[in-house]
Structure 1
Amino acid sequence: MGKQLQELQELQELQDGLYIMKNGQLKMVQAPTTGFGKTTISWEANKPTRATHESNEKL
């Protein structure tokens, strides 16, 4: 239980965003550069393989 609590505390210190766990590695998916948009995650063999970003510009 101690290790899980430590890992949870480390996760709470991360900045807001979308994170993918793949092969035991935690990776942050970058937000759209404009601050508005959508990210679609593609999966193959039950693992995330690609992130497609679609940005929008607020008028």
Structure 2
Amino acid sequence: MAQQDQDMKFEVSLSKNSTFIVKDGIIKEIKAPPTGFGKQIVCWSNGKPTHVEFNYTEPII
């Protein structure tokens, strides 16, 4: 069976800070931490992203 080469494209705004994950041709935007400070850890299994861990901090004023 011949495999067709598919050219999939997705446009994103470069004026918005964001994180995207692509898995099996599907793109998902990952939301920023609610306080604006934190980190996102992408966990992988068998060469594919499986889930994201969120850790955020809140600055002391």
Q: TM-score, normalised by structure 1?
A: 0.74
> What percent of counterpart residues are identical?
35
CA distance in 2 between counterparts of 1:57 and 1:17 reads 19
* Residue in 1 that maps onto 2:46: 45
CA distance in 2 between counterparts of 1:22 and 1:47 reads 7
One-letter amino acid matched to 1:25: I
Unaligned segments of structure 2, at least 5 residues: 1-6
One-letter amino acid matched to 1:33: P
* RMSD (CA atoms): 1.9
Q: TM-score, normalised by structure 2?
A: 0.72
Q: CA deviation at 1:16?
A: 2.4
One-letter amino acid matched to 2:55: E
Can you list the C-alpha shifts for 1:4-44, whole angstroms capped at 9, x where unaligned? 6xx36x23x36421100001001011111111001111000
Aligned length: 52
CA distance in 2 between counterparts of 1:44 and 1:30 reads 22
Structure holding more helix per residue? 1
